[in-house]
Structure 1
Amino acid sequence: MTYGVAVRVDAGLVMLADTRTNAGMDNISRFQKLFTYEVPGERAIGILMSGNLSITQGVQSILSRAIEKCAGDPGVETILNCESMFRVAQLAGDAMASMQGKYRQTIEMQGAAADATIMVCGQRKGGKPRLYLLYSAGNFIEATADTPYFQIGEHKYGKPILDRVITPESSLEEAVKAVCVSMDSTMRSNLSVGMPLDLAIIERDACTFRARNRIEADDQRFAAISQSWAAALRNGFEDLPSFVD
């Protein structure tokens, strides 16, 4: 399974994803699910994928092959030269629709699920930070001030902290802490989500990545956040007023 979360605040964008896939209790593997693309100073894009692995890897391959082809033919439209982040989402949606149209029926005939979900976020020079959630059909929605974050995969365990903390006015540092707590809560409650994690941060108007980090199981900063959050929850619980006489 997967857990991925992306947040859009006024200060920029944050994405965090695990790398665990689960095709049964005895078939657990690691696959990268967060991919980053960049033309420093011009645009920075993060794409986070969940669902049928053959579908999502196919989508990523279609987008990457277009970039490679553009090196020899500048007329090829890619996510790194298209006119807007909206168009980036459209290109990813078209790739999803192509993969679904080609393989969905065959996959489902084998008794497997072909559904997949993609989050696309980023900013190009002259535009605003954008965050989109793409569905299996290739259609998509955009994050707004009322809903400044999206989740994919095992979302239920990590949602409460985001609902209580994240607003458009949250700083990037607050957004990073919130997605780390959200991921930690999910990993504690669901064994199909696990380390290592991939983190990407885009600061508003920089049009480049402030950070692209792989967080391993022994990462001390993540462990400190996990331990501090657990202690805060225990202390908060102990301080609750009594409900019975």
Structure 2
Amino acid sequence: MTYCVGLLVDKGLVFMSDTRTNAGIDNISVVTKMKTWDVPGDRFLCLLSAGNLATTQATVSLLEERGVAPAKRVPAILNQPSMFQTAKLVGDTLAEVIAHTRAASGPSSESRFSGSFIFGGQINGGRPRLFMIYPEGNFIEAGADNPFFQIGEHKYGRPIIIRTYDRKMQLEDAAKLLLVSFDSTIRSNLSVGLPIDMQFYDADSHKAGHRQRFDHRDPYYRKISEGWSDALKNAFDRLPPFRIGMPSSEDMPEDDRGELDRPRRVI
């Protein structure tokens, strides 16, 4: 299992991924799931992967080598005219790798050798864009209504992002938000683990931004982890206490009870 997030804000993009890969509880290793390319002044691309490691690595290798003569080693992924066309290339290549594996191993192997990607960046002449690419090769794009994508073990960290995200936040604040999301996920699922890779992209810079790896010794990550735990405990302590004998909805007048039972919008 894994956990990766790509988040789009007005200032640019923030990418984050864990590095744990395992084939059983006694076979755990560290492998980066983040791949970046940049041509300063022209484009920056970032790819986060989840799923079968052999599948995702084969896809990245094909993107870098296909159709390129050894004497002119320019990755195919850097030859596309737009982010949309590049996302389509990634999706087509992923679907091809999975189809080839299925043909060699039988239909029952499809789920075992599946994979998915978060892909984002910017090409000169276009805006920063972010995509979720599925095993079938199709994809969707982030926008105002869905400004971030997650792949892997996403359920523990998603509520934190939904409640706190603001498209006007700085990249540094977005990084803090994602670190809280990752810390909550790591505490809840042993298949997601440190180190965490992070990549910034500043809108319209057309080059890689700040990149950093956080491990268990990192002082900032430790402050985030401990501070979030303390903040949750303090928030819990400030909630109204429960008392036996307190009025319940059944004890309230009909008009007041209806107010409690009315469906509410959850944010």
Q: Fold match, TM over 0.5?
A: yes
Hey, what does 1:191 align to over in structure 2? 190
Matched letter for residue 93 of structure 1: G
* Structure-2 separation of matches of 1:159 and 1:85: 26
Hey, what does 1:200 align to over in structure 2? 199
* Structure-1 separation of matches of 2:112 and 2:60: 19
What is the Cα deviation at residue 43 of structure 1?
0.8
Matched position secondary structure for 2:209: strand
Deviations 1:28-79 (A, max 9, x none): 12211111111112111110000011110111111121496486277xx722
Contact preservation (8 Å) 2:14, 2:200: yes
Unpaired runs of at least 5, structure 1: none
* Structure-2 separation of matches of 1:119 and 1:111: 20
* Structure-2 separation of matches of 1:209 and 1:85: 16
What is the Cα deviation at residue 112 of structure 1?
6.3
Deviations 1:130-170 (A, max 9, x none): 00000001100001111100000000010111000113222
Matched letter for residue 176 of structure 2: K
The 5 A counterparts of 1:230-241 are 230-241=229-240
The 5 A counterparts of 1:142-181 are 142-181=141-180
Higher-Rg structure is 2
Matched letter for residue 220 of structure 1: P
Q: Which has the higher contact order (CA 8 A, sep 6+)?
A: 1
Contact preservation (8 Å) 2:101, 2:110: no
What is the Cα deviation at residue 23 of structure 1?
1.4
1:25 aligns with 2:33: no
Matched letter for residue 100 of structure 2: K
* Structure-2 separation of matches of 1:220 and 1:107: 48
1:213 aligns with 2:173: no
- Cα distance, 1:71–1:126 mapped onto 2, change above 3 Å: farther
Matched position secondary structure for 2:222: helix
Matched position secondary structure for 2:126: coil
Matched position secondary structure for 2:4: strand
Contact preservation (8 Å) 1:11, 1:171: yes
- Cα distance, 1:226–1:45 mapped onto 2, change above 3 Å: same
Contact preservation (8 Å) 2:65, 2:73: no
The 5 A counterparts of 1:27-42 are 27-42=27-42
Q: Which shifted more, 169-178 or 199-208?
A: 169-178
Contact preservation (8 Å) 1:70, 1:78: no
- TM-score normalised to the size of structure 1? 0.93
What is the Cα deviation at residue 173 of structure 1?
1.7
Matched position secondary structure for 1:79: helix
Q: Which runs of 4+ in 1 moved over 6 A?
A: none
- Cα distance, 1:199–1:108 mapped onto 2, change above 3 Å: farther
- Cα distance, 1:71–1:41 mapped onto 2, change above 3 Å: farther
* Structure-2 separation of matches of 1:49 and 1:72: 27
Percent identity over the alignment? Answer: 44
